[in-house]
Structure 1
Amino acid sequence: MQNSPLLGRVAWNTLIVLLYVFLLAPIIVVFIISFDTRQYLAFPPESFSLGSYAKVFANAKFISAFGRSLIIGAIVGVVAVSAGMMLSLALVRYRFRGKGAVNFLILAPFLVPHIVLAVGIMLVMAPLGLLDSYPGIILAHLGITIPYTVRTITMSLMAVDTRVEEAALVHGASPLMVFWRITLPLVRPGLIAGTVIAFLISFDEATISLFIVSVKASTLPTEIYHYLEYSTDPQIAALSVILIFISIGVVIAVERLIGLRKAL
């Protein structure tokens, strides 16, 4: 009977380890394949080299698409968090007619499959001449990122003690000063988290981007998709590993700046 708690802990720890192995197995396999020297994807590798990584950095289409994705993601992150801040303030601090409908519209992108959203956005943008354009892809990405920023900032706003803002108003501060000096600093973790989430979603979005862009405003996910139509070599695995490390770097940066728990 005395060994029962010990056996239980061992079984629980074993289950957790197996779960982590199951979740990380695809990433580990991709990482190993990225060093293969063959011109097709296969596991295990025949031999190892850094040739695939060199090819990625020499691929002009990948490099230019990576730059476009960075710029689009940065713009989407800033605009999405700005719009999310205004919407969150309205939803948390004010009562108005149609508030429930606004909440539902913000939740809608979470409930509708991206393929359905992609078709709808394409049908709306086609008559406006926004297909295969930077404004078009930015607007499309804003439609799926603003709900995330609203939810993140809303949680931060709900944690703010409104008595601090009321005290500042009583002592003569203007509403704008209260917003700039008190509200924004208090919700800063939510703003940073919302910006990072919006950037990563925009940078990684493939389904909607495939319906909106083709050549002029092609993003990195669409370039990867077009590349896979004709080639399946370790270069894709190497690029995937690079993107994984970029995502990990962003998460570590957020953790060092404000802490993930505080941000989320």
Structure 2
Amino acid sequence: MKGSGTLLTVIATLIFLVVLAPIAVLSILASSTDHFMAFPPSGYSLRSFPELPANDPLLTSVWLSLKIAPLVTVLSLLIGTSAALVLEKLNFLGRDALLTLFLAPLLLPALVLGLALLNLLTSVRLSGTIPALVLGHLIVTVPFVIRQMNSAFSALPKEVEVAAATLGAKPSRVIFRITLPLVMPSLIASAALSFLLCFDKAAISLFLVRAQVTALPVEMMNSGHGRTDPFIAALSPLVIVGTLSIVLLIERLVGLARAVGHRGT
């Protein structure tokens, strides 16, 4: 048993090193004095950070992602929570098949989804617009919300809702006063995940943008391919810090274990 425990510790340590190594490299490159990305850098300086606001394409893409992220988050919660609630509360023929259909985008490659969306939106002349970006992100975020909220609704004690209904509460009142408050940690986690996914999924966004409408993931990818200066490396730690701040906020508000549906014994 002791030997297997040591082996698991070594494996876990290696996994953490593999995951954290790119973050460490980016952090070092962000503080480089070089005018190109080279590792290890010849010197260290924070000059790239004050110059970030002067990078208009990068700044424009940041603001665009910040504008669409709240809209995608709200729509994802409304659509995903409603769908999960219907799938949990109503017993009808084909319910499992419908749930599988809702979760299908999680199983498909992002490139396939992006290409399919491009063909669809081009036919209705929406390609390269902000609504196209919102729809593209919803295709990814809504299945995550449905999966998270479906698990949360399934874990609820049914006796509480039955007791409220027995005392005369209408179904809508039971949902808004009993059910939703009980799954609030999962709602918060779903909202945070939907928000963060708006700064990811470059493969989908790549098919839905044009020169005037470029989301942050696409701009970061373009900068990484077409330029050699360390600006993109300087932005990456800021994105990581923002992500960690949201995770820490969830832990502070409701706890990560409760947010993802794990309950203490």
- TM range, normalised to the smaller chain? over 0.9
Contact kept? 2:103, 2:147, Cα under 8 Å: no
Specify whether residues 98 and 13 from structure 1 end up closer, same or farther in structure 2 by C-alpha distance, changes over 3 A only. closer
Find the aligned partners of 1:191 and 1:150 in 2 and give their Cα distance. 10
Find the aligned partners of 1:63 and 1:204 in 2 and give their Cα distance. 16
Give the drift of 1:107: 2.0
Find the aligned partners of 1:146 and 1:14 in 2 and give their Cα distance. 37
Aligned: 1:119 with 2:115: yes
Find the aligned partners of 2:119 and 2:19 in 1 and give their Cα distance. 37
Give the drift of 1:201: 1.1
Specify whether residues 11 and 86 from structure 1 end up closer, same or farther in structure 2 by C-alpha distance, changes over 3 A only. closer
1:10-56 C-alpha deviation (Å, 9 max, x unpaired) = 55544433332222111111111111111211111101111111222
Q: Which moved more, 1:16-25 or 1:135-144?
A: 16-25
Q: Which moved more, 1:206-215 or 1:222-231?
A: 222-231
Q: Choose which of 27, 46, 63 in structure 2 pairs with 1:50.
A: 46
Runs of 4+ off more than 2 Å: 7-19, 225-230
Aligned: 1:101 with 2:93: no
Find the aligned partners of 2:145 and 2:7 in 1 and give their Cα distance. 39
Contact kept? 1:155, 1:190, Cα under 8 Å: no
Find the aligned partners of 2:179 and 2:173 in 1 and give their Cα distance. 9
Find the aligned partners of 2:51 and 2:24 in 1 and give their Cα distance. 21
Aligned: 1:172 with 2:148: no
Any unmatched runs of 5+ in structure 1?
Answer: none
TM-score (norm 1): 0.93
- For residues 233-244 of structure 1, the aligned pairs below 5 Å read 233-244=229-240
Give the drift of 1:165: 1.1
RMSD over aligned Cα atoms: 1.7
Residue in structure 2 matched with residue 67 of structure 1 by the alignment: 63
Residue in structure 2 matched with residue 198 of structure 1 by the alignment: 194
Q: Secondary structure, in 3 states, of the residue corresponding to 1:203?
A: coil
Q: Choose which of 9, 14, 18 in structure 2 pairs with 1:18.
A: 14
Find the aligned partners of 1:228 and 1:202 in 2 and give their Cα distance. 19
Aligned: 1:88 with 2:122: no
Contact kept? 1:72, 1:203, Cα under 8 Å: no
Percent of pairs identical after alignment? 36
Q: Choose which of 108, 117, 130 in structure 1 pairs with 2:126.
A: 130
TM-score (norm 2): 0.93
Residue in structure 2 matched with residue 27 of structure 1 by the alignment: 23
Aligned: 1:156 with 2:152: yes
Find the aligned partners of 1:241 and 1:96 in 2 and give their Cα distance. 48
Contact kept? 1:189, 1:262, Cα under 8 Å: yes
Residue in structure 2 matched with residue 254 of structure 1 by the alignment: 250
Contact kept? 2:152, 2:183, Cα under 8 Å: yes
